[in-house]
């Protein structure tokens, strides 16, 4: 598809860095480089780094590898990491990426901000599920306050409603969104996943209205049930409309801030241009650590580790759901998630979750996130998000008892 009519006006100022362009040439054998103001490797503080993985295998970074891990690197990806990502992505999603289709990021969050920078001017809009991930709203709101919220249910975004909204806007001569933002698996905060039928329908809608889709998928592998993964939107895309964000935060280590964007070559090229001006590249040391893990573990061993970790999340989910069924009143509704880390509680109409947290959270010693933070319309006031990812098993029962007390206090206030 032709992306140029969709690009934000500010992208006209994006130009390749003349220094960054020299980076690959500087590493050629026999090259004498007087370009690039790179610090001398003899000045680096690190001598070596020995990392021990949970598998018992270790990985050492030293000598030339340490110099590269401490030095400025290419914007797109660490040269040794990129082949591993290509292989990982193909095994996971069945999508064969080319080198120029990958941009390593400081977590998938950087991808949200980059997409917004590239495509959103002040009067542009984004179509997304309501409730919506606050991190995405924060990234998008840096450039626009215009959103087209679409309701969701247990099958994810109600794509028939999206189709109706867009058709109505087109009939009225109103502007269409620049892209559709979707979290297809383990939606944060709703804990639902987009059904296969709706994934296909979403792509049909994007094609009909000539729109991009931003597929943000950090919870894809945080599976709480034994079942096959649904195909990604990117794997179903035949027109180059999907920009996909993958994250290693939920499956490897969030503190490393590692993720990657993949998609059409031209769009990923713009991602790279923006990153050159924003932060040059993602930490070479962090990329070296992930490279070391991939080099010492097969894809299946990585998947096995993720499945083992998901047992912890499944145990926590089951415990929280059992306690909720035991202690919460019948008029509090929720969906039991099959992926992700969240339960989304709907309380009776008129309840004010913000007031509940402010008035009772500290007093009762229990915290949940009020639903208003996930709304583009200042709605969802009678919703609460609970995360079960880190709760200790011995705290679950008491946590639900305290939440139930919070609910009863709000009921009396009403």
Q: Tell whether 80 and 182 lie within a shared domain.
A: yes
Q: Tell whether 311 and 380 lie within a shared domain.
A: yes
> Which residue matches tokens 């969104």?
177
Question: Is position 4 within any domain?
Answer: no
Q: Tell whether 260 and 393 lie within a shared domain.
A: no
Q: Of 261, 296, 331, at which residue does a domain stop?
A: 296
Longest dimension (CA), the chain: 78
Contacts for 117 with CB less than 8 Å, ≥ 6 apart: 8, 10, 11, 142, 143, 274
Q: Tell whether 144 and 75 lie within a shared domain.
A: yes
Q: Tell whether 216 and 360 lie within a shared domain.
A: no
Q: Tell whether 251 and 380 lie within a shared domain.
A: no
Question: Is position 40 within any domain?
Answer: no
Q: Tell whether 284 and 319 lie within a shared domain.
A: no
Q: For residues 279 and 72, give the distance between their C-alpha atoms in angstroms, rounded to a whole number.
A: 11
pLDDT value for 20: 63
Q: Of 296, 330, 359, at which residue does a domain stop?
A: 296
The DSSP output letter for 223 is B
Partners of 179 in the β-ladder: 126, 212
Q: Tell whether 338 and 253 lie within a shared domain.
A: no
Q: For residues 257 and 283, give the distance between their C-alpha atoms in angstroms, rounded to a whole number.
A: 9
Say if strands 212-216 and 179-182 run parallel, antiparallel, or are unpaired.
parallel
Q: For residues 36 and 21, give the distance between their C-alpha atoms in angstroms, rounded to a whole number.
A: 10
Instruction: Specify the length of the chain in residues.
Output: 414
| Helix (H/G/I), strand (E/B), else coil: 38 | coil
DSSP 348-393: PTT--HHHHIIIIIHHHT---EEGGGG-SSS--TTEEEEE-SS--H
CA neighbor of 263 nearest in space, from 115, 44, 386, 113: 115
Contacts for 27 with CB less than 8 Å, ≥ 6 apart: none
CB 308 within 8 A of CB 301: no
CA neighbor of 110 nearest in space, from 77, 143, 139: 139
What pTM was estimated for this model as a whole? 0.94
Q: Tell whether 312 and 399 lie within a shared domain.
A: yes
Q: Tell whether 310 and 333 lie within a shared domain.
A: yes
Q: For residues 383 and 365, give the distance between their C-alpha atoms in angstroms, rounded to a whole number.
A: 19
Tens-level pLDDT at each residue, the chain (414 residues): 899 999 999 999 888 877 666 667 767 788 777 766 789 989 999 999 999 999 999 999 999 999 999 999 999 999 999 999 999 999 999 999 999 999 999 999 999 999 999 999 999 999 999 999 999 999 999 999 999 999 999 999 999 999 999 999 999 999 999 999 999 999 999 999 999 999 999 999 999 999 999 999 999 999 999 999 999 999 999 999 999 999 999 999 999 999 999 999 999 999 999 999 999 999 999 999 999 999 999 999 999 999 999 999 999 999 999 999 999 999 999 999 999 999 999 999 999 999 999 999 999 999 999 999 999 999 999 999 999 999 999 999 999 999 999 999 999 998
pLDDT value for 36: 66
Q: Encoding tokens for residue 319?
A: 């415990």
CB 400 within 8 A of CB 328: yes
Q: Of 248, 275, 296, at which residue does a domain stop?
A: 296
Q: Tell whether 238 and 320 lie within a shared domain.
A: no
Cα torsion through 197, 199, 201, 203, rounded to 10: -150
| Helix (H/G/I), strand (E/B), else coil: 292 | helix
Cα torsion through 343, 347, 350, 351, rounded to 10: -70
CB 222 within 8 A of CB 252: no
Question: Is position 276 within any domain?
Answer: yes
Q: For residues 234 and 236, give the distance between their C-alpha atoms in angstroms, rounded to a whole number.
A: 5
Q: Tell whether 283 and 400 lie within a shared domain.
A: no
Question: Is position 197 within any domain?
Answer: yes
Residue 258 sits in which domain range? 60-296
pLDDT value for 16: 81
Q: How far apart are the first and last CA of the chain?
A: 53
pLDDT value for 31: 75
Q: Encoding tokens for residue 34?
A: 């007087």
CA neighbor of 410 nearest in space, from 382, 369, 372: 382
> Which residue matches tokens 């009776």?
348
CB 51 within 8 A of CB 59: yes
Question: Is position 8 within any domain?
Answer: no
How many structural domains comprise the chain?
2
Question: Is position 267 within any domain?
Answer: yes
Query: In CATH, what number is assigned to the domain containing residue 270?
Result: 3.40.640.10
CA neighbor of 219 nearest in space, from 259, 166, 269, 180: 259
Question: Is position 14 within any domain?
Answer: no
Query: In CATH, what number is assigned to the domain containing residue 392?
Result: 3.90.1150.10
Q: What are phi and psi of 235, to 5 degrees?
A: -70, -25
Q: For residues 140 and 383, give the distance between their C-alpha atoms in angstroms, rounded to a whole number.
A: 23
């Amino acid at each position: 598809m032709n992306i140029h009519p969709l690009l934000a006006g500010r992208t006209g100022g994006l130009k390749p860095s003349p220094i960054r362009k020299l980076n690959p040439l500087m590493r050629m054998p026999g090259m004498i480089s007087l370009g690039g103001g790179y610090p001398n490797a003899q000045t680096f503080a690190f001598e070596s780094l020995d990392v021990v993985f949970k598998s018992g295998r270790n990985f050492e970074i030293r000598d030339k590898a340490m110099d590269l891990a401490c030095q400025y690197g290419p914007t797109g990806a660490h040269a040794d990491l990129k082949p591993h990502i290509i292989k990982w992505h193909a095994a996971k999603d069945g999508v064969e990426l080319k080198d120029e289709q990958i941009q390593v990021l400081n977590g998938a969050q950087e991808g949200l901000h980059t997409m917004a920078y590239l495509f959103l001017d002040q009067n542009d809009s984004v179509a997304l599920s309501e409730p919506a991930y606050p991190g995405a709203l924060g990234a998008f709101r840096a450039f626009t306050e215009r959103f087209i919220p679409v309701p969701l249910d247990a099958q994810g975004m109600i794509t028939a409603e999206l189709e109706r909204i867009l058709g109505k806007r087109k009939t009225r001569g109103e502007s269409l969104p620049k892209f559709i933002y979707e979290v297809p698996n383990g939606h944060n905060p709703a804990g639902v996943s987009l059904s296969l039928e709706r994934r296909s329908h979403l792509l049909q809608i994007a094609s009909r209205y000539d729109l991009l889709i931003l597929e943000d998928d950090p919870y894809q592998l945080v599976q709480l049930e034994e079942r096959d993964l649904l195909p990604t939107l990117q794997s179903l895309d035949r027109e180059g409309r999907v920009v996909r964000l993958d994250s290693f935060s939920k499956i490897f280590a969030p503190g490393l801030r590692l993720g990657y964007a993949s998609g059409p070559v031209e769009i990923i090229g713009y991602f790279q241009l923006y990153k050159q001006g924003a932060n040059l590249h993602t930490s070479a040391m962090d990329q070296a650590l992930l490279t070391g893990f991939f080099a010492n573990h097969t894809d299946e061993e990585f998947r096995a580790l993720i499945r083992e970790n998901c047992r912890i999340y499944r145990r926590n989910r089951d415990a929280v759901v059992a306690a909720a069924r035991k202690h919460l009143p019948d008029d509090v509704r929720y969906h039991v998630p099959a992926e992700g880390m969240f339960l989304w509680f709907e309380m009776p109409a008129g309840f004010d979750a913000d007031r509940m947290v402010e008035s009772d959270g500290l007093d009762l010693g229990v915290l949940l996130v009020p639903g208003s933070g996930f709304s583009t319309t200042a709605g969802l006031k009678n919703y609460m998000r609970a995360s079960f990812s880190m709760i200790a098993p011995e705290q679950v029962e008491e946590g639900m008892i305290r939440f139930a007390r919070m609910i009863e206090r709000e009921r009396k206030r009403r």
